[in-house]
Amino acid sequence: MTTAIIAIGGNALLKSGEQGTITQQFANSRETCDQLIQLVEMGYKVIITHGNGPQVGFALRRHENAREFIPPYPLGVCVAETVGSIGYMLQQTMQNTVKKKGLGVDTVTIITQVVVDKNDSSFKTPSKPIGQFFSKEDIDIKVSNENWNVVEDSGRGWRRVVPSPRPIRIVEKDTIGHLLEKGKIVIACGGGGLPTIEHDDGTLDGVEAVIDKDYASSKLAQQLGLDEFIILTSVDKVSINFGKPDEIRLDTMTVAQAKKYFDEGQFPPGSMGPKIEAAIEFLENGGKKVIIASNDALVEAIRGDAGTIIIP
């Protein structure tokens, strides 16, 4: 039986142009689970991971706007808050989907902690934008009062930036693996997991950072020895010369080709870059196949009729 980890973006649950109401997110969850359940029907054992970028932005804004009445949560707790709510949506929706299909498979969500290196370079140079946009006047107050690191974002305003360290170890890896072996559908590493540092005595502390969900998914897949890593995103295929007249959409790619294109700057850090790096790391550490495809073409991609396949 093939084992796979499927990484879906936070925008799969909150689509462009939507307000992001819970009703809309549940409707999008149903569409997503209708796709994912087909892999289970095909005999796959699956772990589902997901992003939470839009959702954690909403959570931060709620806390920011309510700070006059309620003490705001730190970033790490906001990440946990959204991971729990998204996990609830996906878990309930998948349970209902399984029920309708008569498959008799349980779904479980694991709030996942991820160990990072306290000396990771990203802590010295935070670069991941989060939360709402501010005017220059308002962001200067935040910098003064909250000691934020900030950046101007594409002329749209100023935003807070935080570290985005690379994952070292998935704390709940053994529990997730045990559930997978028992045939459960597991939802894990939500939002890239909750970043923690490990002390000499083995205890953990959360840190103000976010982890890229594709790097975390790759790390979990490596630690569990999974066969396939599937990344669902907003584009149909990986491309080189993206957006140019000579754009080439790739059906297949080897690790060597992926490295070559990456070194040439074909995959920018803010979009396809982390996905390609995560794919390379997975394949170089025992993985068999990576598929990158659009959110609505999962089954076609599994059959080789859509998406981009990356192989060792």
Pairing of strands 3-8, 45-50: parallel
Q: What is the predicted pLDDT for the residue at 183?
A: 95
One digit per residue, the tens of pLDDT, for the chain of length 312 reads 899 999 998 778 888 888 889 999 999 999 999 999 999 999 999 999 999 988 998 999 899 889 889 999 999 999 999 999 999 999 999 999 999 999 999 999 999 999 999 999 999 999 999 888 899 998 998 899 888 999 998 778 999 999 999 999 999 999 999 999 999 999 999 999 999 999 999 999 999 999 999 999 999 999 999 999 999 998 899 999 998 999 999 999 999 999 999 999 999 987 899 999 999 999 999 999 999 999 889 999 999 999 999 999
Closest C-alpha among 162, 272, 173 to residue 217: 173
pLDDT at 311: 96
The confidence score (pLDDT) of residue 155 equals 78
Hey, which residues are catalytic here? 10-11, 128, 213, 275
What pLDDT is recorded for position 270? 78
Question: What does 238-276 look like in DSSP terms, one character per residue?
Answer: EEESTTSTT-EEESEEEHHHHHHHHHTT-S-TTTTHHHH
How high is the pLDDT of residue 271? 85
pTM of the prediction? 0.94
Give pLDDT, residue 296: 86
Check residue 173 and give its pLDDT. 98
pLDDT given at position 83: 95
Cα–Cα distance between 234 and 238 in angstroms, integer?
10
Torsion from C-alpha of 240, 243, 246, 249, nearest 10 degrees: 40
The DSSP code for 73 is P
- Domains delineated in the chain: 3-311 (3.40.1160.10)
